[in-house]
């Protein structure tokens, strides 16, 4: 399968624990996005990488959230000291972008469901 893959698909954690999600984008894609989606809502932008550089981070993203893409390939999203409000599906997406107006298709992964109890 050459699509966007995410791991783990499901995670249940106790409040206060740290969790980390991994995303492997489509291999030739230079852009990688993290979104969060709760039931009944559209995906909400969290952060975006072009290659290894984190170019934008949502104002909604608290200091407990950190994302990395160290070699410009896979990415990790870590949530520290999880809270019940962090329960959501965390979606990773990738695209191939040639410029600011390229507007290339974004391909989403299956998502990682987080439940904080």
CB of 27 to other proteins, least distance (A): 18
Q: For residues 80 and 13, give the distance between their C-alpha atoms in angstroms, rounded to a whole number.
A: 11
CB of 4 to other proteins, least distance (A): 9
Residue 96 makes contact with other proteins by CB under 8 A: no
Peptide bond into 88 cis (omega under 30): no
Choosing from 26, 73, 87, 108, the residue that interacts with other proteins (CB under 8 A) is: 108
CB of 14 to other proteins, least distance (A): 25
DSSP code, position 72: S
Choosing from 24, 44, 52, 68, the residue that interacts with other proteins (CB under 8 A) is: 44
């Amino acid at each position: 399968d050459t699509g966007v893959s995410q791991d783990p698909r499901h995670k249940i954690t106790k409040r206060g624990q740290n969790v980390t999600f991994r995303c492997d984008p489509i291999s030739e894609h230079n852009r990688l996005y993290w979104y969060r989606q709760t039931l009944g809502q559209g995906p909400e932008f969290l952060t975006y990488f072009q290659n290894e550089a984190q170019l934008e981070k949502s104002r909604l993203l608290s200091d407990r959230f950190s994302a990395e893409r160290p070699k410009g390939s896979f990415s990790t999203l870590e949530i520290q000291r999880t809270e019940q409000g962090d329960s959501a599906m965390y979606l990773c997406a990738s695209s191939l972008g040639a410029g600011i107006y390229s507007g290339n298709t974004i391909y989403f992964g299956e998502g990682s469901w987080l439940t904080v109890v």
